[in-house]
Amino acid sequence: MHTSLIPVRWGDLDAYGHLNNTLYFRFCEQARVEWIEAAGFEVRPERREAPVIINASCTFLVPVNYPANVVVRLFAGEPGRSSVMSWYELYIEGQDQLVAEGASKIVWMDHETGKSVPLPDALRSVIES
């Protein structure tokens, strides 16, 4: 559904010289935000209704080193009433080897009530197309 290209910065490395595990989640988050915004929905804290994540996972398969550009491929599942699953594949640009894979459940939420609300019809259309 969406592909992002994210550069690895020198400061993104851990003490072993590998991409720090927390950055994989950030890279997936960036791809997710880009995808939602490309669908026409701003991801801003002042919006009453917006997406939140209720769980996230990542399996680290191959260490990523500097310099590199990480390609994040986002896929979406069948939408529910207020949520949709998303999956991520991470690669190094120019290589075919999968370096990590992840998932997260996106829930559309009303920030004033703290309760889930139906996915916007326009977003549902993007997911189903």
Ordered domains of the chain (ranges, CATH): 2-128 (3.10.129.10)
How much is the average pLDDT of 6-28?
97
Do the beta carbons of residue 88 and residue 103 sit within 8 Å? Answer: yes
Pairwise CA distance, residues 83 & 126, whole Å: 14
pLDDT band at 73 (very low <50, low <70, confident <90, very high): very high
Contacts of 125 (CB under 8 A, 6+ apart): none
Do the beta carbons of residue 4 and residue 34 sit within 8 Å? Answer: yes
The pTM assigned to this predicted structure is: 0.93
CA dihedral 105, 106, 110, 111 (to 10 degrees): 80
In this prediction, residue 109 carries a pLDDT of: 95
How much is the average pLDDT of 90-103?
98
